[in-house]
């Protein structure tokens, strides 16, 4: 099969790497790709739906795997379906679960899925009145896609009002903030639950935990994710099925009932509160960086699983996930200054030394290969993933590997995995 992976992050490098191991794959293209997928790259943006359709026709692609949310919300799956080419991802109608937080909340409530109490607003006066009525803390969210930055945790009423004014008044997030969601602040530990979905059935991947904040101890600005590991001791494998029963399967039922069955990866961002699990958000694709450690643990060939999802045959084909029993932990190597402004074009060295270590894989993200040199071209640059018999061992190996990598103005968190390790020690 000739396969097209769409995107340019660490997730897409990991997807291309995993798909490349499948005996079913004959040739892999990545659009636009990065410094780690050089020999597969096609210079087309992930939002250029017409260009991608032409590429699929021209290169006679048999199967398409979009990585990020943008092409999905723009309807890449519908466009490929119209061509008769299977595409592993939700339709445009289902991608709204990520593309509109108001839609996601409405669908959750319709499906009876536990989530934070909320209100949806377009009118500033009504939003401000809601804040006065409820008091702080509150969470203010831009409805549309805002690259993970459209969520403001307001500890005081004033902060909440300022956030509302910045979104509805000053249009800080452009049209993504024309509608906002204001919701109850939830306390607990976060967990990522990702499921392969075929429209009707959900197959849970092992648990994973992301590290969204830029600073150690989960402090500072939110980012796309600074590191991840799997499994997360917060939810053992037995607990996952139950969590999927509460947070994923009712949504599949709801979307099917609406005539828009969900196929692809449904990623539920969960908050494990004292009162039980609540859904913070849905993503309609693999998480980045969760994807990288998760795929390191996946022993099964990923292509037949993806095909079964598109065909609606997870159950019929009795698809099961075979996993490596080890823990996997990935640390994101970033440019200092991310998620705000940071320099680009810095040379990164030592990647091969890190990659040569046993049980280690370095996935590229914001890098480009210029005449054999790897240069930075983004904020999150690499994800260094290691397998280990324990989470602690995976962490040790991953940090040993990342220390071999050098760049001026590099930054990475040194506490990836610590929450999980602590939880295991306290058991």
The number of C-alpha atoms within 13 Å of 128 and in the hemisphere containing its C-beta is 11
- Nearest approach, Cβ of residue 259 and ligand GLY (Å): 27
Give whichever of 273 and 359 is closer to ligand AMP, judged by the CB atom: 273
The mark string for 106-145 relative to ligand AMP (x by CB under 6 A, - otherwise) is ----------x----------------------x-x----
Pick from ligand AMP, ligand GLY, none: which does 47 bind, CB < 5 to 8 A by kind?
A: none
Pick from ligand AMP, ligand GLY, none: which does 281 bind, CB < 5 to 8 A by kind?
A: ligand AMP
Pick from ligand AMP, ligand GLY, none: which does 280 bind, CB < 5 to 8 A by kind?
A: ligand AMP
- The two tokens of residue 205 are 């991947």
As beta bridge partners, residue 138 has 154, 184
As beta bridge partners, residue 367 has 376
Rounded to whole angstroms, the Cα distance separating 280 from 265 reads 17
As beta bridge partners, residue 27 has 2
* 288 touches ligand GLY (CB under 6 A): yes
- Nearest approach, Cβ of residue 348 and ligand GLY (Å): 22
Q: Is the peptide bond before 289 cis (omega within 30 degrees of 0)?
A: yes
Q: Which stretch binds ligand GLY (CB under 6 A): 174-182, 199-207, 282-290, 312-320?
A: 282-290
3-class SS at 385?
A: strand
Residue from 287, 293, 339, 378 in contact with ligand GLY (CB under 6 A) = 287
User: What is the dihedral sign for C-alpha 328, 214, 344, 353?
Assistant: negative
- The two tokens of residue 268 are 């539920």
Pick from ligand AMP, ligand GLY, none: which does 143 bind, CB < 5 to 8 A by kind?
A: none
Residue from 190, 198, 288, 290 in contact with ligand AMP (CB under 6 A) = 190
Q: Pairing mode, if any, of strands 27-32 and 2-7?
A: parallel
- Nearest approach, Cβ of residue 251 and ligand GLY (Å): 17
Pick from ligand AMP, ligand GLY, none: which does 139 bind, CB < 5 to 8 A by kind?
A: ligand AMP
Pick from ligand AMP, ligand GLY, none: which does 183 bind, CB < 5 to 8 A by kind?
A: ligand AMP
* 210 touches ligand GLY (CB under 6 A): yes
Within 245-284, which residues bind ligand AMP (CB under 6 A)? 269, 280-281
Which helix (H) or strand (E) segment holds residue 6: the answer is strand 2-7
Pick from ligand GLY, ligand AMP, none: which does 103 bind, CB < 5 to 8 A by kind?
A: none
The DSSP string of 16-27 is: HHHHHT-TT-SE
Three-state SS across 4-62? Answer: EEEECCHHHHHHHHHHHCCCCCCEEEEEECCCCCHHHECCCCCCCHHHHHHHHHHCCCC
Within 213-272, which residues bind ligand GLY (CB under 6 A)? 224-225
The DSSP string of 125-179 is: HHHHHHHHHH-SSEEEEESS--TT--EEEESSHHHHHHHHIIIIIS-TTGGGGSS
- The two tokens of residue 242 are 């139950």
* 183 touches ligand AMP (CB under 6 A): yes
Which spans of this chain sit near ligand AMP (rule: CB under 6 A)?
Answer: 116, 139, 141, 151, 153, 183-186, 190, 212, 222, 269, 280-281
């Amino acid at each position: 099969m000739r396969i097209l992976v769409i995107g340019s992050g660490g997730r897409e490098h990991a997807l291309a790497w995993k798909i490349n191991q499948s005996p079913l794959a004959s040739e892999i293209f990545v659009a636009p790709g990065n410094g780690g997928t050089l020999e597969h790259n096609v210079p087309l943006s992930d939002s250029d739906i017409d260009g991608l359709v032409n590429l699929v026709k021209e290169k006679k692609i048999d199967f398409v795997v979009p990585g990020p949310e943008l092409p999905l919300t723009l309807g890449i799956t519908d466009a490929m379906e119209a061509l008769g080419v299977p595409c592993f991802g939700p339709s445009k109608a289902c991608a709204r679960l990520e593309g509109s937080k108001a839609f996601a909340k409405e669908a959750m409530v319709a499906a009876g899925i536990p989530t934070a109490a909320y209100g949806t607003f377009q009118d500033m006066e009504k939003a401000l009145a809601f804040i006065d009525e409820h008091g702080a803390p509150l969470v203010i969210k831009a409805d549309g896609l805002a690259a993970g930055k459209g969520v403001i945790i307001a500890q005081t009423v004033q902060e909440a009002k300022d956030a509302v004014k910045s979104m509805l008044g000053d249009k800080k997030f452009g049209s993504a903030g024309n509608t906002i969601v204001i919701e109850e602040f939830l306390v607990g530990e976060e967990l990522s639950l990702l499921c392969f979905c075929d429209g009707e059935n959900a197959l849970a991947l092992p648990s994973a935990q992301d590290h969204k904040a830029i600073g150690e101890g989960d402090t500072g600005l939110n980012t796309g994710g600074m590191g991840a590991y799997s499994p997360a001791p917060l939810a053992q494998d037995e607990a996952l099925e139950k969590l999927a029963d509460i947070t994923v399967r009712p949504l599949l039922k709801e979307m099917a009932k609406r005539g828009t069955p969900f196929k692809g990866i449904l990623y539920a961002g969960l908050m494990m509160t004292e009162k039980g699990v609540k859904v913070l958000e849905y993503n309609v694709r693999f998480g980045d960086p969760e994807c990288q450690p998760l795929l390191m643990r996946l022993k099964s060939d990923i292509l037949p699983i993806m095909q079964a999802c598109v065909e609606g045959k997870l159950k019929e084909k009795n698809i099961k996930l075979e996993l490596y029993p080890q823990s996997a932990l990935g640390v994101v190597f970033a440019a200092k200054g991310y998620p705000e402004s940071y320099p680009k074009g810095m040379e990164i060295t030592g990647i091969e030394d890190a990659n040569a270590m046993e049980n280690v894989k370095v996935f590229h993200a914001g890098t480009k290969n210029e005449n054999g040199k790897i240069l930075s071209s983004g904020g999150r640059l690499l994800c260094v993933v290691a397998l280990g018999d324990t989470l602690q061992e995976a962490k040790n190996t991953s940090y040993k590997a990342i220390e071999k990598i050098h760049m001026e103005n590099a930054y990475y968190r040194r506490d990836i995995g610590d929450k999980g390790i602590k939880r295991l020690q306290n058991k």
